[in-house]
Structure 1
Amino acid sequence: MTKHSSPGHKPQTSYPKLHLMAVAVCSAVMILALTLLPSPDATATKTVRLKPTSANVEPTPIEQAQELVDEQLVEPQMETVIARNWQDQKVRSGDTLSHIFKRVGLGSRDVYEVMAGQGDVELLKKIHPGQTMRFDIEEQKLVALEYVMSRTDSLMIEQSENGYVAEMQIKEMVPFTSYAEGTIDSSLFLAAQKAGLSEGLTMELANIFGWDVDFVLDIREGDSFRVIYQEMHLDGEKVKDGEILAAQFTNQGNTFTAIRYETSDRGASYFTPQGESMRKAFLRSPISFARISSHFNLRRKHPVLHTIRAHKGTDYAASRGTPIKATGDGKVIFAGVKGGYGKVVILQHGQKYRSLYAHMNNYARGIRSGTRVKQGQTIGYVGSTGLATGPHLHYEFYVNGAVRNPVTVKLPHAEPIAKQDKEAFLTVAQQMVGQLSTYAAAMESEKVANLDQ
């Protein structure tokens, strides 16, 4: 049976309702199998890919099934594709447009006409080695030029009646939602690698929970993590990692949960399911993944002076030149040499808090008294200036003028979710926590099934 369309439209096939219902049910079952059931060869970890959506809320399986049916009923729109006889040229070190044009038989006149064209032709002045330029030449005349800047971005320049016209073309990447989990035997990095997480995602996971967990001191065998994250795909292939949407980290029996939430005015950040910021006003450590070589101890024997002398901070052993980060937003109140501290930077954080970074090899560019810094900004580099037996960072933390142990001091929270966003956030948080639990249950069921085999 066919359905006739209005003038100017092609006829569209119509199927019986019973057929559509059967297709919808079958599609729903298939989607459930793909998204919730792990594969037979999975071990302690699993990556699951879901159908991409544009909203924060995932559609139900029945809604996804109906979308698939609707897609099959829509007549595909054929785009007009101009056949191009491309000649590809890789940009070499030291190349100019004239060099590249010459290699394909074009001259300086052609370069001039292209650069005199309309649109974003100025981008051709910023070519880099390794990029590709594609030429369509007919009868020794340039018809079209494509400057491939990356896998997603290219500049298309085409001939028109009024000269050349340049237009940016950007391919849209498709986000796929994935899930991974793991249990730590020795280190977070090894467990995450086994779970299929990239180094970048592992660092991001550590950054999210870094205010609550010291990934050098606090990690224990048996700690675990669960992550829902995005992978960005282009033309059916993964191009890069996307964002972590939700994550849980269990450390020594304490479970921390983080939900990503984005607003138009404040951007994206991570919050607890109750809406408290995962960020604290201060980082727990000024150096990423550094080993503590000497703890806070007010009656320590000094390694150089060999006398009982209060060690009012924490020493982090690291290679010379390792970046040192400001643990909180603040103002530089001192940057210079200070006795046994050697080269030191002191930051004031509002009225209540102050931090000190000593034995630096050098200061970061622009760091001087009066400079404002942001949390995580590099302020200097590890060294051994002053009374030091080797390269390390000496870090002190003060509350109302009194020195405190940087490792154990209670850190203040950053701002929670805004009041006007709280209701919407709580809805998203509940859904994401539910997804984490659903995936974890599916993984546990698979482990049990594997044991029974």
Structure 2
Amino acid sequence: MSTFKMTVLSKFINYKLLSIAGLSLVTVATVLSFRSSPIQDVELDIASFTSVNPAPASGPRNDSIKDVVKPPNYEYQIQSGDTLSEIFAKLGIPLSDMQLVMEADLDNLRIDTLRPGHLLRFWLDDSGQRLDKLELEFNAAQRVDYQRVNEGGFEFEEITLPGTWKSSVAAGSIYGSFSVSAQKAGLDFSEINEIINLLKDKINFSRDLKAGDTFEVVVA
């Protein structure tokens, strides 16, 4: 009988594989490296983008209010097959702005960790043709911002919101498929699919897991 155990944090965004049927420890960075290939081309529908245009505020204008947060012009949830260049092109944002963002990201490589389900938010200048700010939201507690600081580039900032995360353990044994067994253990479809996609290069879920194998998933 073999056992695999996984720690899953922040709604399956970060993973640490502890052991799989006797395999040695694999870190988060190693696991994610198997998913860092460029997103394949796909035709995007402009209707997929949410245009954020707030209604005018009611009542008299108060010019003394400072630091009013400007909402993004567009919000987009990444789909399987998207490319960043295609998303920029659909919004009419110059690819030169995308290149500047990627240059600001060189020391952090957070763009390389973009996955389906992550959110992109775009702030444009008054002309609507130049990017002022790009925000990547990975989960409710973690995002990165790229803010234009001058004509020469963008400034990178990573933001992690403080909070208390409660964890639970879903454990079970393999009887039938992993999907069915994991569902019986209390995992939902999206969580099961995320595990399979993350580990598909390390485990063949049809061949490697045998009846009676046990698993534990810690969800926070």
**Where on the TM-score scale, by shorter chain, does this alignment land: which range?**
0.3 to 0.5
Pick 1 or 2: higher relative contact order, CA cutoff 8 A, min separation 6: 2
Using the size of structure 1 for normalisation, the TM-score is 0.23
Higher-Rg structure is 1
Using the size of structure 2 for normalisation, the TM-score is 0.44
